[in-house]
Structure formats: structure tokens, C-alpha cells
Amino acid sequence: MRDGTADPRRRVPRTDALLADPGLAAAADTFGRDRVKAAVVAAQDRARRGEITPERVRDAALAALRSPAPRAVLNATGVVLHTNLGRAALSAAAVEALVAAAGHTDVELDLATGRRARRGRAALAALAAAVPDARAVHVVNNGAAALVLAATALAAGREIVVSRGELVEIGDGFRLPDLLASTGARLREVGTTNRTTLGDYAAVIGPDTGFVLKVHPSNFVVTGFTSAVGVDRLATLGVPVVADIGSGLLAPDPLLPAEPDATTTLRAGAHLVTASGDKLLGGPQAGLLLGDAALVDRLRRHPLARALRVDKLTLAALAATLHRPDTPTRAALHADAARLRERTERLRDRLAADGCKTEVVPAVAVVGGGGAPGVELESWVLSLPERYARPLRTGAPPVLGRLAHGRLLLDLRCVPADADDVLRAAILRVRVRGDG
């Protein structure tokens, strides 16, 4: 007969004992006893199903009672702009600006005159200063919205000429052709998947052409027998050229030589550039529109622009990011591999002193966020057994790494240096509990 005392379900703490716990008792003052009890019962059920150990019931109940806001996560994946983790981590300056903007602000008021002023003028001025080649700028709520506004204002009921090789899927099943067709524009596809020439575009330009669209295929690379037409040559066709550069790089970066930037694209002759604010720029989610003054003003005054406008928090964070471009994104991209190795080895040695054996191995990090496909960043990772992955991911704070060949790899590239102690403690908690 099986010994019932060995059943871990017998170690699940009793409800009354948990409700008497000081932490849960304090939570009852905030959330109410009924809600706390429901969290306790749910955590007990998880333990009985084997999802968590009985010793983690209290922590699981407390975790369930936290604010419904997204939880802060330590990004140890080696993906700088991880879409599932919210892409760019904001700088300290941007966070400070967000807090300041949480109350009443002068977002649409001139304090000198006491009269209404242009909304978000500080952020717009900072964006214009960052890209002097843009004659005018505007900001909407994300990159897709920027392209939708351009298509609606410039080509509704008309044609958008675009290469077949640039009709991309932008993530989560959203496809560029569907997005553009939803605006009432008609797509005029030219060329083939791998080769498009200037003659292909010229052959279809006519009175119905709203603009020529140039899309940077930011999440894949086509190699081999290929041909594409640059913005400089498209600008000779006599119609507006809209270039979607995607990742929000405002000026050239030697680390990313193949990634288009707004400054170079405008100088090449693009009439309008669209981009995202929460990728390589390292700011909040936003859609940037830069270019010809008449075109930008036309978009800004279109009725749809009101529905796509950004809130005061985004404007504040964007302005701060542009004024102080030393963002976590930039730091992670340009992190020195040798220093990363030293830092990772220090963490390994400290864990070893605590009886936790790990390894430091070379690895490759990536840009992510649909930017700079094919670019590999030399890196070093802390290698742990795969069984550490789930308890670290569900811990407090959650730690997310990547799995490869039966190992959990933790890359410190995107982990703030002052969080190394937090990461060490999280690893040791898993080891002590026996989950690892």
C-alpha cells in the first residue's frame, strides 16, 4: 500500500493558517477578506494539481493579489527588443517624465498666454530637432497607425504602388496588404517576390497613383538572385514616395549598417517617412511621421488623426527619450562583449560560493522587435539546467531566459547591472526550494 504521508498534497497549508499569515492578513485590509480567501484557495488548488510546490502557496496567493498592471520582468533572453516583453525599456529620464505627466500638465496649453497651444509641442520640437532633414513631424499611437493615416489621407480610393517583395506580415497575423486595403486604397503590386526594377514601378504610375510605398522588410532577409529599388531612384518617378523604415532609427548606426534610418531616407528623396518609437529609438510605443511639410500637415489635419493621437504620457516619455538618447536599448545594443563576460563570470562565482554550480558560455544575442534581421550580437550567458526555467519565470520578480539544447541560458545584456543581486537571489531561491 502506498504511504499517504509521502503525498505532497498533505503538505498544502490550511486555509486558516494562511489567512493568519501577516502578509495575507495585511492584504485583506486592502483587498477584502473574501478576495484574499479566494486567492488562497486558488493557490492551494494549484499546489494539489502539482503546478507549484506546497511551500509556494503563500507566495502564489500574494502574487495573485498584486495590481492587475503588467508585472516587471527581468529580460535575460538576449533579445533586446522583445515584443512579448513590451519592446523598449524606457530610460530613467522617460520614466521621470511619465511620473511628472501623470497629473495635470501643459500638454495643450501655453502657460505664458493662458491659451490653447499645439498638443505635444515639446515632443514634436524634440523630434524635429533630432531629424533636421524633416520639414515637419507628427506623432500617432504606433507605427501601423502612421502608415494607416498616410494611406487614408493620401490614397483612399486611389492606388498605392508597392513591390510584391515588400508585402510583409508585421506580427500576430497582421498583414500589410490587409492593413492598407482597410483604408480604402487599392494596392498595385509590381515586380516579383525576389526582384523588382524601377521599370516595374514606372509602368503603372498614372493619375490614380496616390503614392509609391517603400517598406523595409525588417523581420526577414531575402538573399540570392534579388533586386530592389532604392528610395533615391523611386523619387524620380514624379509621385510621392512614402518609406516605412519600421524600427525607428533616426540616424545611421555603424552597428546596424543595413538598417534604414530616417535621416538618410529623407536625404535620398522620400517625401514621408514612417517609423515606430518603441524599437531602436528606445522610447514609448508611438508612430512617427517625418517629411514634407505639406504632406505632414495634410495628415495632421485629417479627421482620422484625432482617433490616432497619443496621450500626454506618451508625449512626455517621447520628449524625454529624444532629449536624452542614452536609453537602455542603446546601452544593450552597444554592450561590450568582454565586459558582459566579466559580469557573467562574477555572477557565476558568487553563485558557486553559495553552492550553486553554473557555467558561463558564449552566445549570440539579437536585436528583436522586427529590427535588423540577421544581425548577431556577441554575448555570454549563464547556463543552468532547463528545470530552472519555469520557477524563475513564475517567481517574484519573473526572470525570463531562453532554452537551448536542454539548458536555460540567461543573458545579462538587457538586465540592469544593479539587478544582478536580484537575479542571484532568484536563482538561489529556486535551488533552495528544490525546484531547480
Could you tell me if 269 and 232 are in contact, meaning their C-beta atoms sit under 8 angstroms apart? yes
Question: How far, in Å, CA of 333 to CA of 55, rounded?
Answer: 39
Predicted pLDDT at 41: 94
What integer pLDDT is reported at residue 155 of this predicted model? 97
Domain 75-87+330-433 carries which CATH code? 3.90.1150.180
**pLDDT value for 1:** 41
User: Are 327 and 177 within 8 A, CB to CB?
Assistant: no
Residue range(s) in the chain whose domain bears CATH number 3.40.640.10: 92-325
pLDDT at 26: 82
In this predicted model, what pLDDT tens digit does every residue of 119-164 receive, in sequence order? 999 999 999 999 999 999 999 999 999 999 999 999 999 999 999 9
CA 283/CA 320 separation, integer angstroms: 9
Mean pLDDT by groups of 10 residues along the chain of 436 residues: 60 92 84 89 90 89 78 94 95 96 95 95 97 98 96 97 90 84 96 94 97 85 86 97 94 94 98 96 97 97 96 98 95 97 97 94 92 89 96 88 96 96 93 63
Outline which parts of the chain fall under CATH 3.90.1150.180. 75-87+330-433
For position 434, what pLDDT does the model report? 58
Euclidean distance between CA atoms 283 and 88, whole angstroms: 6
Opening angle at CA 417, ends 416 and 422, nearest 5: 80
pLDDT attached to residue 115: 96
Q: What is the 3-state secondary structure (H, E, C) of the chain?
A: CCCHHHCHHHHCCCHHHHHCCHHHHHHHHHHCHHHHHHHHHHHHHHHHCCCCCHHHHHHHHHHHCCCCCCCCCEECCCEEECHHHCCCCCCHHHHHHHHHHCCCCCCCEECCCCEECCCCHHHHHHHHHHCCCCCEEEEECCHHHHHHHHHHHHHCCCEEEEEHHHCCEEECCEEHHHHHHCCCCEEEEECCCCECCHHHHHCCCCCCEEEEEEECCCCCCCCCCCECCCHHHHHHHCCCEEEEEECCCCCCCCCCCCCCCHHHHHHCCCCEEEEECCCCCCCCCCEEEEECHHHHHHHHCCHHHHHCCCCHHHHHHHHHHHHCCCCHHHHHHCCCHHHHHHHHHHHHHHHHHCCCCCEEEEEEEEEECCECCCCCEEEEEEEEEHHHHHHHHCCCCCEECEEECCEEEEEHHHCCHHHHHHHHHHHHHHHHHCCC
Task: Give every CB contact of residue 405 below 8 A, 6+ residues apart in sequence.
Answer: none
Q: Which residues contact 161 (CB under 8 A, 6 or more apart)?
A: 188, 190, 201, 204, 205, 209, 211, 212, 213, 239
As a residue count, the chain comes to 436
pLDDT at 218: 66
Exposed e or buried b per residue across 201-221, where buried means at least 16 C-beta atoms within 10 angstroms of its C-beta: beeebeeebbbbbbbbbbbee
What is this structure's pTM? 0.85
What pLDDT score does 105 carry?
A: 95
Give tens-digit pLDDT for 270-305: 999 999 999 999 999 999 999 999 999 999 999 999
* Closest C-alpha to 239, from 196, 205, 200, 190: 205
> Does the domain formed by 92-325 have CATH 3.40.640.10?
yes
